[in-house]
Amino acid sequence: MSEIAGLIRLKASGTLYWFIKNRFRGNILRKTVYLILVSIFSFVILSSVVYNVFGGEILFVERERLEVIVDNTPLARSEDKPAWDYLFEILREHPETEIEKADYDAVGFTELNRQPVEYRGRLVRITGRLVRCEWIPQHQEPKPFDEDLPEKENSSEKMSKKESNGFYESWILVRDKKDIPISVCSLTIPEKIPVGDGLNERVSVTGFFYKRRLFLSSDSEELTTPTILAKTLRWTPLSAEKPKPVSVMQIIRNNTFIILFFLLILWFIFRISSRHLRRSNRKPIQIKL
């Protein structure tokens, strides 16, 4: 995905380069504007390509081993167990920092729910509100989503060390779907994060998309939701949220077209003023009769 994006940006920069070179050929003012435009645009394009190419590694997944997974089925489908163990084994082998720096797709509920086959086994990232978290002792079907749990258990009472084949099941509401949360199955969770029901914690998750699973609400209604397998959650306590500093590079990248538009306006102003100056400097022709 990053290589294709890089090629598209390079193609766009080449097209703009050719257009500006042929359009602004002529006097010194045009050449100066042309050099400024090409320099800024090339700087932004090259920096973006370098980030996409060298920004993260790809966690290799054998897609053939995931063909046994069937969507719209319960989480604890026995035929899916080999694929479940395979993805979790990859997560155990790689440290959290390496997973966070790997190449991933930032997605929402809609993409995963509509295209489960395309995203199967791909590293994805979601951000949203954690509303429920519980420990599942083994690969089994959890309780209905709306069933009551103890609210906000103390972190010292977590059961992360009880069984090695267990996992934490977290339910996260994302921006594009306010009524059905995404299911996240993780090996661990942050040490001080509360568990239970009735939560409202801001988290982000980077993990493998597993399948579109079937689950039951407390009213025995069958619903489907995307499921992600992750190593852990990244938790931002509400009291610790701080605005992130914006880098100069990010400002330039986000405002490339604004800068180009501003420079084009300057060029037109210079062009009109230079024409007006040339006309005012012309001497009137006197005709003697």
Q: 3-class SS at 165?
A: coil
Tell me the per-residue pLDDT of 240-251, one tens digit each, with 9 for 90 and over: 555 566 666 667
User: 41: which residues sit within 8 A by CB, 6+ positions away?
Assistant: 13, 16, 17, 256, 260
Kindly list the distances between the CA atom of residue 64 and the CA atoms of 61, 86, 227, 232, in Å, as whole numbers in the listed order: 9, 11, 19, 25
The residue that leads in pLDDT, 27 or 249, is 249
Tell me the per-residue pLDDT of 157-170, one tens digit each, with 9 for 90 and over: 444 444 457 899 99
pLDDT band at 225 (very low <50, low <70, confident <90, very high): very high
**Contact between 176 and 223 (Cβ < 8 Å):** no
User: In the prediction, which pLDDT does 166 show?
Assistant: 86
**Contact between 139 and 169 (Cβ < 8 Å):** no
